[in-house]
């Protein structure tokens, strides 16, 4: 009996030693991963240049195509109708912007008569990129085209 008890105690002691060694040899748990901050949206040079513009009108590749001035142009809009228009008093230039859909990146029909006396019609998805001084900057990165309109006009 004594021999069986001695064997059981020896086995229990060996098991305790093995468990202690296993705990000491175990590698520490790695720290939880640090969340990577999201990459900032790249802002193109064209958009940066467009955001520096302040005159109401149409810009393509940051060049002012049809720009409003209070001495030679009239402006009109209808929030209910979803359009904004500027036109030169002598009708030699105009810009019509008509909202075609309601969403964060809305579709707009942009029609203009510019310096070359040709009517151009574009259907663009424009995203609001800035609102300041009662004006809204709408931008399409693919076409490098922007429109500045009075806030609340569409």
In this structure, is residue 23 part of a structural domain?
A: no
In this structure, is residue 3 part of a structural domain?
A: no
For position 62, what pLDDT does the model report? 87
In this structure, is residue 22 part of a structural domain?
A: no
Our CA angle for 124, 126, 129, nearest 5°, is 160
1-15: pLDDT as tens digits: 566 666 767 766 666
In this structure, is residue 25 part of a structural domain?
A: no
Signed CA dihedral, 39, 146, 150, 52: sign only: positive
Share of the chain above pLDDT 90, in %: 60
**Nearest residue to 108 (alpha-carbon basis) of 75, 136, 134:** 136
Share of the chain above pLDDT 70, in %: 77
Q: What's the mean pLDDT in 55-59?
A: 97
Which domain, by its residues, includes 122?
45-150
Q: Where are the beta strands (DSSP E) in 2-144?
A: 57-60, 63-67, 73-78, 83-88, 94-99, 105-113, 119-132, 135-140
Look at 68 and 24; give whichever has higher pLDDT: 68
| Count: domains in the chain | 1
In this structure, is residue 146 part of a structural domain?
A: yes
């Amino acid at each position: 009996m004594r021999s069986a008890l001695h064997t059981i105690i020896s086995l229990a002691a060996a098991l305790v030693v093995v468990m202690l060694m296993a705990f000491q040899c175990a590698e520490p748990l790695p720290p939880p991963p640090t969340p990577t901050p999201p990459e900032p949206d790249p802002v193109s040079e064209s958009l940066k240049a467009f955001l520096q513009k302040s005159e109401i009108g149409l810009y393509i590749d940051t060049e002012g195509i049809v720009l409003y001035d209070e001495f030679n142009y009239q402006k009109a809009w209808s929030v209910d109708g979803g359009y904004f228009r500027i036109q030169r008093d002598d009708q030699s230039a105009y810009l019509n912007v008509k909202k075609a859909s309601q969403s964060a990146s809305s579709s707009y029909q942009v029609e203009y008569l510019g310096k070359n006396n040709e009517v151009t019609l574009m259907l663009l998805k424009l995203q609001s990129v800035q609102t300041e001084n009662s004006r809204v900057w709408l931008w399409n990165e693919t076409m490098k085209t922007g429109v500045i309109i009075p806030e609340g006009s569409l």
